[in-house]
Amino acid sequence: MPKVEILSGGKAFDTLAASWDHLSRTCETATPFQTRIWIETWARNFASPSRLTTIVVREGADVVGLFPLFSSVSPWRALRPAGTGPSDYLSPLLPDASLVGEMQDALVELGRKRLIDLHQQPSDHFFTAALPYETIDQARCLVLDLPPTYEEYVASLSKSLRYDVRRLGGKALTEKGAVVEWISPETVDEFADQFFQLHRLRWKSRGLPGAFFGRGERFQREWMHAAVPVGLVMMNRLVAEGKPAGCVYAMRAGQTCYFYQAGMDPDASSLSPGTILVAKMIEWAIQEGCTTFDFMRGDEPYKRRWKPNRERTNFRILLPPGGVLGNAGKWWNASAWQVELKVRQRFEGKSLRPSKAPKPTP
């Protein structure tokens, strides 16, 4: 019978390192956001070890389930998934649905003393589907199922995008003195510097500060240094006449490539760096044997151009439901959704398709 153990502090990083790494490699639903490297790097930058609590499910000597959580005191005291904030998916590491009961029982027990506030739980994950609790919409994610060949994929695009991809990816690059380059362990710092610079330029053009600054940027740099050598991060950039024009930041886990962020120089729009780099990243993913390209959080029009064929909703789940803290969590989530939608509309333009955001209630 599976047994549940609760580890306090950062013990899981030391005592379960090999088991954690093995589980994240073999679990079909694992994303980069469940890896030990991501969570440990996140914890160093956003949460002290004393605030961590890890649910461990064992079968004999084998670790078959993990759910790292952290104690948050803002805006109220609660246990949230470790990685909350920069992580797009925050489900527990479980190989299949047979262990959901043990994980749920552990959460209920922890919830007797404080609110359990589960962010970014994918609607199509068996853990989320099995929880008998009310869900709150938190984000929408677009997903593209990849065909066996890049040529087949390009043929499925709209006529205008198909033309652009074929035109811009060929001789047009050479004629404009441009080249697409790929990150390596030796060029992490160079790529990171240019990515953050381009990302800030892109957001500045909309009058916004950008998504990375302070601890957020430091966290990402540390993660890139650890993740690039083991194949968890892939970045490409467009360089024209010796100057970076754009950069795409993606991740890889199993057979899925995850589109995480991008940075573009607004002055280089005539080169269409976004179109070139996203197309090249999708081509790379297919060549690497990926079957899925996940655009993750955000239902923006530019993502829809690439013909994602399904979407999921990320849910927020509060345990126990009801009560003062639970109702406050619902109100807070609804308010945050409205703010995020307004920011995205300002960033992506008026063409952003409105989402069905929940209405805040006092």
According to the model, what pLDDT value does residue 353 have? 39
Segment 218-244 shows an average pLDDT of 96
Exposed e or buried b for every residue in 223-243, given b needs 16+ CB within 10 A? bbbbbbeeebbbbbbbbbeee
Residue 115 pLDDT > 90: no
CA distance 81 to 91: 8
Angle between the N-to-C axes of helices 17-26 and 36-46, in degrees from 0 to 180, rounded to the nearest 10: 120
Rg (C-alpha) for the chain, rounded Å, is 21
Whether 253 shows a pLDDT value over 80: the answer reads: yes
Which H or E run contains 9? none
Residue 149: per-residue pLDDT: 98
Is the pLDDT score of 90 beyond 70?
Answer: yes
- Compute the distance between CA of residue 308 and CA of residue 12 in angstroms, rounded to an integer: 37
Residues composing the chain: 362
Task: Give percent above pLDDT 90 in the chain.
Answer: 66
Read off the DSSP letter of residue 359.
P
Give the mean pLDDT of 274-279: 95
| Whether 198 contacts 265, CB under 8 Å | yes
Q: What is the share, in percent, of the chain residues with pLDDT greater than 70?
A: 86
How large is the average pLDDT for residues 103-116?
A: 89
> How far is 94 from 360, CA to CA, in rounded Å?
33
**Res 107: pLDDT:** 94
**Cα separation, 278 vs 286, whole angstroms:** 12
Q: Which of 122-136, 164-178, 302-316 has the lowest mean pLDDT?
A: 164-178
Q: Higher model confidence: residue 230 or residue 300? A: 230
pLDDT band at 210 (very low <50, low <70, confident <90, very high): low
* Strand partners of residue 116: 79, 319
Nearest Cα to Cα of residue 103 among 113, 92, 119, 115: 92
Predicted local confidence at residue 49, as pLDDT: 82
For residue 252, list its beta bridge partners.
257
Q: Are 29 and 125 in contact (CB under 8 A)?
A: yes
Task: Give the pLDDT band (50/70/90) at residue 320.
Answer: confident
- 230, 35 Cβ separation under 8 angstroms: no
Q: Which residue has better confidence, 83 or 136?
A: 83
Strands 62-72, 233-240: pairing kind: unpaired
The pLDDT tens digits for 23-57 are: 999 999 999 999 999 999 999 999 888 899 999 99
CB 117 within 8 A of CB 336: no
Residue 266: partners with Cβ closer than 8 Å, 6 or more residues away? 201, 202, 205
- Model pLDDT, residue 348: 47
The pair of structure tokens assigned to 149 is 């060949």
Task: State how far the Cα of 169 lies from the Cα of 180, in Å rounded to an integer.
Answer: 9
237 forms beta bridges with 181, 247
Instruction: Check residue 334 and give its pLDDT.
Output: 60
At residue 354, the pLDDT reads 36
pLDDT of residue 225: 98
Whether the upstream peptide bond of residue 185 has omega within 30° of 0, thus cis, is no
Q: Higher confidence at residue 214 or residue 41? A: 41
Most confident of 46-50, 167-171, 229-233, 339-343: 229-233
Q: Which of 127-141, 194-208, 274-288 has the highest mean pLDDT?
A: 274-288
**pLDDT at 283 > cutoff 90:** yes
pLDDT of residue 308 exceeding 70, the answer is yes
* pLDDT at residue number 350: 40
Give the pLDDT confidence of 147-201 residue by residue, as tens digits: 999 999 999 999 999 998 988 877 778 777 899 999 999 999 999 999 999 998 8
Tell me which amino acid residue 110 is.
L
Longest dimension (CA), the chain: 65
3-state secondary structure of 354: coil
Only one residue has tokens 């190989």, namely 95
Task: Name the pairing type of β-strands 115-122 and 136-145.
Answer: unpaired
Enter the pTM of the model.
0.88
Residue 352 pLDDT > 50, yes or no? no
- Are 272 and 164 in contact by the 8 Å Cβ rule? The answer is yes
